[in-house]
Copies of this chain bind each other. A is one copy, B any other.
Amino acid sequence: MLSLDLNYAMNESLAPCAGMREIAPLGERVDRCLADLRAGGPLKGWVGLPFEDGPAAEAAAFARSLPEGLRDVAVLGIGGSSLGPLAVYHAARHPHVLRPAPGDERSRLLHFLDNSDPDTVGSILEGLDPATTLYIVITKSGSTAETASQLLIAWARASEVLGESARDHFVFITDPERGDLRALAGRLGVRTFSVPPDVGGRFSVLSPVGLVPTAAAGLDPAALIAGARRVAAACLDAPLADNPAALLAAIAHLADVREGRNVHVFMTYSDRLAPVGAWFRQIWAESLGKPRAGGPPAGPTPLDARGATDQHSLLQLLVQGPPDKFVVFLDVRSRREVTVPALFEDLPSFGYLAGLPLATLIDAERRGTAMSLARAGTPSITLTVDDTSPASMGALFFLLEVATAIAGSLYGVNPYDQPGVEQGKKLACGLLGRRGFEEMRAEARNLEDRRSDDLVIEF
C-alpha cells in the first residue's frame, strides 16, 4: 500500500499557497490525458508493461539458468538504461554491504558502470574476474557512446580470459531489430532481450531493462510488475480527485505556473530509496524541461535531496530562500529496528534519545521539516511506501511515470523527446573525429578558436 498525503499542499488551514488548492479546473485535461494513455500509441508502450507477465517470466528463467559460479554482475549502460535497475537493486539490497556474504544467491553483487569516467570503468572492470562475472549491456539505440566503450573494454578483457565462451557471460538488452548492438549480438551469438520500440529509455524500467538486472541479482522481477499492476487502475483510471499520479502532477504543475515554484525538490527519507531521486530527476527533467511548441524555454527544475542528511545542507535555502520551491517527500513505513540505548542520560543531548527507535527519530525529523516548511510558506506533499521491496518499487515507478506523462500534458509538451541533448552529442562526435560529423567538427573548432587564453586563470 502506498499513500499520498496532501495536507501541506491542499489543506486550507495548513497549506500556504492558495493557487495550488484549486485543482478542479484541471480535471478535464487530466481525463483526456488518461484516456490518451490508456489508448496507447507511439512511445506509450510503457503504459502496458504492468500488464505483461512474459518478460518477467523470461528474465526469471534466464536468472535461474545462470551458473552458480557467477558471483558478480556488471551493468553496462548510462542514464535511462542504468538509473532504474540501480534504484531497484539499491532499494532491495543492503546499501552498505561491507563484505559480501558467502555462499547464497544474495551475494551476487551488481556493479553499475554508468559513466565514461576511466576511473570508474577501469576500476570496476579490472576488479572483476570475467570467469565469475555476467555482463549486462543495456542501450536501446545500440549506439550510446559510453555504453559502446564500456562494452568494447569488457569484451576484450573477457574474451582474453575466456576465449569463445566469453559470449556466455554477456547479455545485450536493446531494440529488437535496429542498431549496431543488435547486429553485434547476431554476429557473436550473445543472448539478447528486447526493449520494446515504443518504450523510451527513461520509461523503460518495467521492461527487460529493469527486469533482467533485477532477476540477475536474485530478486523477483515478477514482483516489480505485480507492484506496478496493483496501482495501475488507481493511476490510469481514477479521476483527478482520487488519482495519486494525477494529483502529484497537477499540484506540481500548479506550484510552478500559479505560484512560481518551479524548483521541485524530491527528498527521500531513506538511504535505500536515495537512487529513486536520481531516477526521478531524469524522468522529470528530460520529459518536462522544454518549451511548448513556439513558446519560450520552460520546465521545472528537479532537485533531489536526502533526508535527514540534507536538512543540514538544503533546509536553510528551502526555508529562507526564494519562494520558488515545492517539495515532494518520499518516506518508507517499514524500517530496520535499531534502538538508541539508554546511556549518559544525565547529559541533556543524550538523555532524550534513550530507548528511542531510530525510525522514530528520522520520522520526527521529516515531520518537523514539513511543518517548518509549511510555516515558512513552502508547500509539500508526502508519498509513503510500505517498504523498499521490488513490489513497492514497481508501484512507485509506475506512479511517477504516469505523473510525468500527465505533467507533460499539463505543461503542453511532448514528454517523450529530448531534442536539447542532440547538439552536445554531435559536437562531441565532431571533436572525436567521427566520420559523418565533419560539419560539427568544423563548428567545434570554430568555437575553440575563439577561446582566449587570457580568460584562463592559472593558480
Contact = CB atoms under 8 A, between A and B. Distances in A.
B358 A116 contact: yes
Contact of A458 (B2, B288, B433, B459): B2
Given A115-B309, A316-B286, A368-B425, A298 B278 contact: no
Given A352-B435, A368-B424, A450 B149 contact: no
Nearest to A142: B349
A410 interface: no
Give the bracket for the number of chain A residues in contact with chain B: 35 or more
A456 B247 CA distance: 11
Interface in A138-152: 142-143, 145-146, 148-149, 152
Given A127-B96, A286-B317, A371-B424, A119 B272 contact: yes
A380 to B, nearest CB: 12
A24 interface: no
The quantity of this chain's copies bound in the complex is 2
Contacts of A60: none
B285 A148 contact: no
Contacts of A190: none
A457 B231 CA distance: 12
A13 B450 contact: yes
A452 B313 contact: no
Contacts of A72: 98
A315 B425 CA distance: 11
Given A341-B156, A424-B372, A450-B13, A297 B270 contact: no
Contacts of A109: 98
Contacts of A444: 367-368, 371
Given A96-B124, A111-B96, A303-B301, A353 B418 contact: no
Contacts of A458: 1-3
25 contacts: A1-B459, A11-B452, A95-B120, A119-B272, A119-B336, A123-B336, A143-B348, A152-B350, A156-B343, A281-B314, A285-B313, A286-B312, A289-B317, A291-B320, A298-B322, A299-B317, A303-B303, A319-B424, A364-B428, A368-B429, A368-B430, A368-B444, A371-B424, A376-B420, A376-B423
The 7 closest A-B pairs by CB, nearest first: A79-B312, A289-B317, A368-B428, A319-B420, A368-B427, A372-B424, A143-B349
Given A7-B455, A301-B301, A348-B435, 19 more contacts: A94-B123, A96-B127, A116-B362, A117-B271, A121-B358, A153-B338, A235-B459, A285-B317, A289-B314, A298-B322, A299-B321, A301-B317, A317-B420, A320-B420, A368-B425, A369-B424, A371-B427, A372-B424, A373-B424
